Chains A and B, each alone.
Chain A
Amino acid sequence: MKYLAYVGTCSVRGSKGIYLLSVDTDSGDMKTEATAAAINSGYLAVRPEGYVYTTFENMTFHGYACGGVGAYRVTKRADGYEIRMQNCVPAAGQLPCHISLSADGKEAYVSSYLNGCLGIHRIAEDGSILEAHKVIKHHAEDGIWPSVHCAVPTPDGKYLCVVDVKLHRIVFYERQSGEFDEAGRLQLPPPYDYRPRQIVFGRQTAYVVTEFGRDMLALHYDDKAPSILQETQRFALVPREFSPMTGAYAACVRLSPDKGLLAGSVRGYNLITTFAADEQGWISRPVYNRTAGDGPRDFNFTPDGKALLIGGQFSDTMELARVDSQSGTLETIASGFHLPSCSCVCFEKQTDEGGHGGEEYAESRRAS
């Protein structure tokens, strides 16, 4: 199958910004279809109408002390693809490291790591992103500075789930007539060098990867009250027999489209550990898969869930691996595709042509 993937990068070693890759999971072919200049496009969010949104994970934005957020328009032309910046606006804080979209694609949630805040941005009809109309700020506690690392809407869209990597907590905010009020939180116990980093929601269970703890947490929630989480399982992402390693941090958690396979990555050890997830969200059978590249900071399942595209942040390479959904093992299809310092991998929704369908999708939305 052929897919289009967007890759965000750190602006080092000749990176060109955002990459649009075509990926063939049968042949293993990867090809850069287009690039767009973006300084430290740390995290991406894709809207199927042909828009990609990125954080500019910087200390300044146009001379001011904050990072930025950019909206890009992707168009398919006779001679190939083009990614063009639609607009950009300041983020609510410095080093914005994560962006997610609401289910209707009308809002973007941008986490600013260094300031410990979350900016809520509206997305205009023409796809451009507006300045944050609401900022949720965490505050220092007991000398610990907050660091908002990830924010995603809950599956029912009722809450915004915010992961604070340094305050060690997951906080739920409920929208009440335009305001966001805290509706619940899960405070993870000390030690504080455990660091919850990213979260995904599965079947009645949310999964959290911890950066320094290098664990996968399974947190049960009730569909009727997803703001109440309870830790039910904890698995190490690194086998116990592995030697200790400094600077080996867990980075990414992803769930397959059918929610049956969970995966978490660890840089340094260069592992992607997979788990089988059952109908109730319980996970089991960790399988430790070595990656071909160095530093799997981010990866993602192809839309059919049969392959993983893995970014080697430090080896400047991309790897395509076949997923055995029964055993959880990964088999490398292709590796060594040069792409500097991958920080985020996102797939575009597949179309019948196996490629970008932004215009058609937008047209169908307009028609409906």
Chain B
Amino acid sequence: MQKAEERLENIEKRLARLEARMEVENLAGKYARWMAEGRFGEILEKLWSRRRDRTLEEGAFGVYSDTQLPLFGLDSYYNQRYGMPVPGKKNPEQRGRMTIVTFSSPDIAIDESGMTAAGSWMCVGNESRVWFDGDMSGLPSVDAKPADKDGRRHAAFWVWQRYQAEFIQEDRQWKIWKMHIWDIFRCPYDEDWISYAGKRYADDEYMDSQIRFGDNPTHSVYPTTEHWQYAPDRTAPRWPDQFL
């Protein structure tokens, strides 16, 4: 029979882990909301850990890391992928952009120490990007709507992904430490993923050539570790188990 003190301590630990789980889930919710609001700078500053070994990998974009600062960093990801403005640079068009990530099916584990956690979510996202006609640094022209009167072209597409992340406590706050976003499929909103996969695997003139090199010297620091996207002749992926 456990002593009352031991039982109390056990309950406190379980309560703390339950609380931690809720906080991690809230952190993910905040991430989703701030993405929709285009608050990428705040995401970097307030939701991400300040550790130098923080990493972010998405699809075939490669692994972003701060190990080569000040040359590259996680800010390159938000700048290239979502057009986060960078001081002193010509920044991409912001009007007409939209980034929705909707997390569901959370699977969160808090480690014994209560200091780190791992979580995964399925995510459905909708994005619209915009760039000026004649500038292919955004998406290939095949995916875009015709130019509007100002020469701006838009593309609307689905992105279904699996988010997997590690979290760490810093100053009693949960922060994102490592994030790996696995593609499931991405395709224009008005086209199904089966027909689009056929095009994508036949040609690179589609959005799968995401984050082209362009003439922007920033890119991920490390290559893609693993990449899978839906194709009618490919079997479903088996994602790694939780990190912990």
With A12-B135, A14-B134, A94-B224 as known contacts, state yes or no: A62 contacts B200, CB within 8 Å.
yes
Residues of A within 8 A of B200 (CB): 62-63
Write out, one digit per residue, whether chain B residues 219-244 have a CB within 8 A of any chain A CB (1) or not (0).
11111101101010000000000000
Are B215 and A39 within 8 A (Cβ)?
A: no
- Residue of A10, A12, A59 contacting most chain B CB atoms (<10 Å): A59
Are B201 and A63 within 8 A (Cβ)?
A: yes
A75 interfacial by beta-carbon distance below 8 Å: no
Write out, one digit per residue, whether chain A residues 79-115 have a CB within 8 A of any chain B CB (1) or not (0).
0000000000000011100000000000000000011
Distance, CA A59 to CA B201, complexed state (A): 14
B169 interfacial by beta-carbon distance below 8 Å: no
What is the distance, in angstroms, from A59's C-beta to the closest C-beta of chain B? Answer: 5
Least CB separation from B132: chain A residue = A13
Interface on chain A toward B: helix, strand, loop, or mixed SS? loop
Residues of B within 8 A of A153 (CB): none
Distance, CA A93 to CA B229, complexed state (A): 18
Are B212 and A40 within 8 A (Cβ)?
A: yes
The stretch of B23-31, B42-50, B203-211 that contacts the partner chain: B203-211
With A56-B204, A94-B224 as known contacts, state yes or no: A12 contacts B136, CB within 8 Å.
yes
Residues of A within 8 A of B1 (CB): none
B91 interfacial by beta-carbon distance below 8 Å: no
Distance, CA A64 to CA B201, complexed state (A): 8
Q: What total of chain B residues lie within 8 Å of the partner, measured CB to CB?
A: 35
Are B197 and A63 within 8 A (Cβ)?
A: yes
B128 interfacial by beta-carbon distance below 8 Å: no
B121 interfacial by beta-carbon distance below 8 Å: no
Are A114 and B223 within 8 A (Cβ)?
A: yes
A37 interfacial by beta-carbon distance below 8 Å: yes
Are B212 and A39 within 8 A (Cβ)?
A: yes
The stretch of B32-40, B60-68, B110-118 that contacts the partner chain: B60-68
Residues of B within 8 A of A95 (CB): 213, 219
Are B215 and A341 within 8 A (Cβ)?
A: yes
Are A13 and B135 within 8 A (Cβ)?
A: yes
Residues of A within 8 A of B60 (CB): 59-60, 64-65, 94
What is the distance, in angstroms, from B90's C-beta to the closest C-beta of chain A? Answer: 11
A window 20-41: CB within 8 A of B: 37, 39-40
B214 interfacial by beta-carbon distance below 8 Å: yes
With A59-B62, A145-B222 as known contacts, state yes or no: A40 contacts B205, CB within 8 Å.
no
What is the distance, in angstroms, from B177's C-beta to the closest C-beta of chain A? Answer: 18
A256 interfacial by beta-carbon distance below 8 Å: no
What is the distance, in angstroms, from A38's C-beta to the closest C-beta of chain B? Answer: 9
Give A residues with C-beta under 8 Å from B: 10-15, 37, 39-40, 42, 56-65, 68, 93-95, 114-115, 143, 145, 247, 249, 295, 313-314, 341, 343
Give B residues with C-beta under 8 Å from A: 60-62, 67, 134-137, 140, 197, 200-205, 208-215, 217, 219-224, 226-227, 229, 231
Which 10 residue pairs are nearest across A and B when measured between Cβ atoms? A65-B227, A65-B224, A14-B134, A10-B215, A65-B60, A63-B201, A12-B137, A114-B223, A115-B223, A57-B213
